[in-house]
Amino acid sequence: MPNFYVVATPIGNLEDITLRALRVLKEADLILCEDTRVTRKLLSHYEIKTPTESYHTHSKLSKTDKIIKMLEEGKNIALVSDAGTPTISDPGTLLVSKIYEHFGNEIKIIPIPGASAIISALSVSGMPSSEFVFLGFLPHKKGRETLFKEIAESNRTIVFYESTHRLIKALTSLEEHLSNDRQISVGKELTKMFEEIIRGTATEILKYLDENKDKIRGEFVVTVSPK
């Protein structure tokens, strides 16, 4: 039986990829990409010429059937997302599930670990990390208020992703629900040129961002200390 690889790729800095990941991407018969244009930049940088094909959130069921057929034919396939580890707040979970349903334990689904925005943010937050809860992207409306109340009562470190357009709203909600001594770490554009870690209370971070509005750009990982 062939192998199906779930391959972590850099979250920004192209040097943050393992030697094993490079070998697997070179040796695979096909690389499934969230966006082939984004992955092509990485592959070109390392002179990897493996064929690519798109696989993303909106891929039809027929694409999954096609992938399963290729595996039946003995093709080794690697799955990557635009950045970080596939299936973690990224496409791919359904595909991996369908492959297990079809092949059972006859197929090897192999994780190729690497860069992770969640772990990177935690490692520099100065907050307890033996236990933490990852919430992915917070809901825009339904259940959002309830979630912030749960964050306020959590005895574990909380980590979530936030977009440029919703960061201030999220921090304002944290300011409303958290006690004044609760610490927050905001990781901005991790591993990229404009990487920055902003740490303090919700009020302090909001004040900093109000005085530095140019900092409210990019992708953010928010870490909240436990109660």
Q: Are residues 74 and 156 in the same domain?
A: no
Last residue of a domain, one of 90, 112, 134: 112
Q: Are residues 97 and 141 in the same domain?
A: no
Q: Are residues 133 and 202 in the same domain?
A: yes
Question: What CATH number corresponds to the domain at position 212?
Answer: 3.30.950.10
Range of the domain at 215: 117-224
Type and span of the H or E element at 209: helix 202-211
- Type of residue numbered 10: P
> What pLDDT does 80 receive?
97
> What pLDDT does 186 receive?
98
> What pLDDT does 184 receive?
98
Q: Are residues 96 and 146 in the same domain?
A: no
List average pLDDT for each run of 10 residues in the chain, which is 227 residues long: 95 97 98 96 98 86 91 97 89 91 94 96 96 93 90 97 94 96 96 95 97 93 97
Q: How many domains does the chain have?
A: 2
Candidates 117, 79, 83, 81; CA nearest to 10 is 83
Residue with tokens 């093709």: 75
> What pLDDT does 166 receive?
93
Last residue of a domain, one of 94, 112, 130: 112
> What pLDDT does 89 receive?
77
Last residue of a domain, one of 112, 130, 152: 112
Contacts of 53 (CB under 8 A, 6+ apart): 30, 31, 32, 33, 36
Report the alpha-carbon angle 89-86-51, nearest 5. 140
- How much is the pTM? 0.90
Q: Are residues 95 and 121 in the same domain?
A: no
